[in-house]
């Protein structure tokens, strides 16, 4: 077979011309350097590795709940704050008691409020008396305190391509925060959706944003509706349900078959609400759950090897050019062990989901709660763990990436 495109000789000449032609094209092109491209610029705006923030205002919401208003730190060349989706979190990178840790908090302000030169985020935090960070926040965080955070992250947001436009929020305690963001966004007109919120509190005094949600309900009647569910014995507030968020309560207010359920609250509430929602036999896609952070008492988790619960193991860590050995308790995550030793490992969601802390386990065994195992199939096979949801059950050796 003989193929001619423009004729035998012309084709051969064209082949011989390839190199001179390429050289010529290169030589006559501009030598102007190119700058940062628009897509990498957009990526930096939407997903900065970290943000430098400063506390602009502090408000007490209840006797144990506080809102911190955060703005871009003018000392850094701030392009302003990264935009986000209602329901996303900031993972704060903070130093408390000389230890560098991360803590994810849902953004309680609305996305539109982050825009522009006066843009801000708010996070609303409940003080945990025995917690590591929150008492420190109450004591040390003042207006003007500088805070570093991740870019906005997390997957607990309303997605119109996937979810029903009638959202039923099931919130408990400080789990109200992503719904405040969502409600403000709906009222502002940026989201074409309606929110029915069933909000569980232990006491009337503990209800966060009571007045504000009343206002939001009035501004967008039919699109925002809040039902308070109080577990205390006596309820004086008008229109409240007493008890817990049961299937009956849900059915009383919600169009169960035509809604998407969004659940956010403390661990105990998830466990309760899961059982109630199961009664509806909804398709999986109709229920979205915010990840709940570290498990309170891992020894209660089915499958946890309780015989090692009292033990402290040796954890050898390779991070960058450093190799070091630190103690690791069986009841604390590998991430916490590294943070205690001030190794400042990378982390973000602290729930096993995002993979930001992903590390290579070269020696030893860990326990991972199946619900908190967000690893890829190949990661499991090749020995990778997410230290934020892995508990040592033997001595360990891990290789950890340095934080970004």
Partner 1 sequence: MWGHVSLRGSGATKQSPPLLAIEDGRLLRYTRNDIIRSLPIDKTDSILYNVAQFVLFRSGHPKEETMAETTTQRHLNKAYDCVVIGAGNGGLSAAAQLAAKGARVLLLEQHSLPGGFATSFVRGRFEFEAALHAFCDIGSPTFKGAVRTFLEDELGIYLDWVEIPEAYRLILTDPGEDLDVTMPYGVHDFITAIEKAAPGSRESVTNYVNLCKEVLEAITYIGQSKGHPNRSVLTKQYANFLKTCPYTMDQVADALKIPERARKILHAQWTYLGPPTSRLNFTVYGAMFYLFLITSAYIPRQRSHEFALALDARIRELGGHVEYNTRVEKVLARNGRVVGVATSKGDQIETGHVISNASPTLVYNHLVSPKTEVPEIALRQCNARVNGVSSVVVYLGLDATLEELGLHEYSYFVYANMNTDEMYETCKTLDAPKIQAVLCLNNALPDCSPPGTSIVSITTLYRPEVWKNVAPQDYVRVKNKVASDLIAHFEQATGAPIREHIEEFEVATPQTFARYTGSYNGIIYGYEPEPWDSLMPRMMMMQDDKHLDGLEFCGGFGFRCHGYSSSVKSGQTIALITWRDMLALSEANVMEKGEVQQ
CB of 43 or CB of 268, closer to partner 1: 43
Rounded Cα distance, 46 and 83, in Å: 6
Rounded Cα distance, 180 and 200, in Å: 14
Q: How far apart are CB 111 and partner 1 at their closest, in Å?
A: 7
HSE-CB of 373 using CA atoms within 13 angstroms:
13
Residues 6+ apart with CB under 8 A from 324: 316, 317, 341, 343
Q: How far apart are CB 200 and partner 1 at their closest, in Å?
A: 24
Q: How far apart are CB 283 and partner 1 at their closest, in Å?
A: 6
CB of 202 or CB of 324, closer to partner 1: 324
What SS3 state is found at 179?
Answer: helix
CB of 160 or CB of 327, closer to partner 1: 160
CB of 125 or CB of 291, closer to partner 1: 291
Q: How far apart are CB 60 and partner 1 at their closest, in Å?
A: 31
CB of 19 or CB of 233, closer to partner 1: 19
Dihedrals phi, psi of 59, to nearest 5 degrees: -125, 135
Q: How far apart are CB 325 and partner 1 at their closest, in Å?
A: 13
Residue 391, token pair as written in the block:
């508990």
Q: How far apart are CB 74 and partner 1 at their closest, in Å?
A: 18
The CA angle 230-235-241, to the nearest 5 degrees, is 45
Cβ-in-10-Å burial (0-12, 13-18, 19+) of 365 comes to middle
Contacts for 135-143: CB closer than 8 Å, 24+ residues apart = 136/96, 136/97, 137/66, 137/68, 137/96, 138/66, 140/96, 141/55, 141/58, 141/68, 142/55, 142/58, 143/55, 143/56, 143/57, 143/58
Q: How far apart are CB 32 and partner 1 at their closest, in Å?
A: 7
CB of 45 or CB of 311, closer to partner 1: 45
Q: How far apart are CB 335 and partner 1 at their closest, in Å?
A: 14
| Host H or E run for residue 138 | helix 134-140
CB of 155 or CB of 280, closer to partner 1: 155
CB of 7 or CB of 243, closer to partner 1: 7
Residue 10, token pair as written in the block:
């012309």
Residues 6+ apart with CB under 8 A from 258: 164, 166
- Name the residue among 148, 152, 157, 150 with its Cα closest to residue 83: 152
CB of 49 or CB of 139, closer to partner 1: 49
State whether the Cα torsion 255-257-258-262 is positive or negative: positive
Q: How far apart are CB 361 and partner 1 at their closest, in Å?
A: 13
Buried b (16+ CB within 10 A) or exposed e, 185-194: bbbeeebebb
């Amino acid at each position: 077979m003989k193929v001619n495109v423009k004729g035998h000789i012309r084709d051969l000449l064209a082949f011989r011309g390839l190199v001179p032609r390429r050289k010529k094209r290169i030589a006559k092109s501009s030598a102007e350097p190119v700058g940062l491209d628009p897509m990498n610029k957009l990526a930096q705006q939407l997903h900065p590795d970290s943000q430098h923030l400063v506390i602009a205002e502090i408000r007490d919401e209840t006797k144990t709940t506080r809102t911190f208003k955060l703005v871009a730190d003018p000392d850094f060349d701030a392009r302003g704050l990264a935009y986000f989706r209602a329901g996303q979190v900031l993972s704060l990178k903070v130093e408390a008691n000389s230890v560098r840790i991360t803590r994810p908090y849902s953004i309680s302000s609305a996305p539109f409020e982050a825009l522009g030169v006066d843009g801000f985020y708010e996070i609303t935090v409940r003080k945990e008396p025995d917690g590591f960070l929150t008492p420190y926040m109450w004591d040390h965080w003042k207006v003007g305190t500088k805070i570093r955070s991740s870019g906005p992250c997390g997957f607990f947001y309303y997605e119109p391509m996937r979810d029903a436009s009638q959202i039923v929020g099931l919130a408990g305690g400080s789990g109200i925060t992503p719904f405040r963001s969502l409600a403000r966004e709906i009222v502002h007109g940026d989201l074409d959706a309606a929110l029915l919120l069933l909000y569980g509190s232990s006491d009337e005094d503990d209800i966060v944003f009571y007045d504000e949600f009343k206002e939001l309900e009035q501004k967008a009647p039919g699109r925002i509706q809040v039902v308070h569910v109080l577990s205390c014995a006596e309820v004086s507030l008008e229109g409240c349900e007493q008890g817990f968020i049961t299937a009956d309560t849900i059915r009383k207010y919600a169009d169960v078959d035509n809604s998407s359920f969004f659940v956010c609250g403390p661990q105990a509430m998830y466990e309760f609400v899961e059982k109630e929602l199961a009664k509806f036999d909804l398709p999986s896609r109709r229920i979205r759950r915010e990840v709940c952070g570290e498990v309170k008492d891992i020894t209660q988790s089915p499958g946890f090897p309780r015989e090692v619960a009292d033990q402290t193991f040796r954890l050898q860590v390779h991070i960058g050019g450093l190799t070091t050995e630190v103690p690791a308790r069986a009841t604390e995550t590998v991430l916490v062990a590294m943070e205690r030793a001030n190794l400042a490992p990378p982390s973000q969601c602290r729930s096993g989901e995002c993979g930001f802390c992903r590390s290579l386990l070269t020696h030893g065994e860990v326990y991972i709660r199946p619900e908190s195992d967000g690893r890829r199939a190949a990661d499991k096979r090749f020995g990778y763990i997410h230290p934020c949801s892995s508990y040592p059950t033997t001595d360990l050796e891990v290789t950890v990436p340095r934080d970004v």
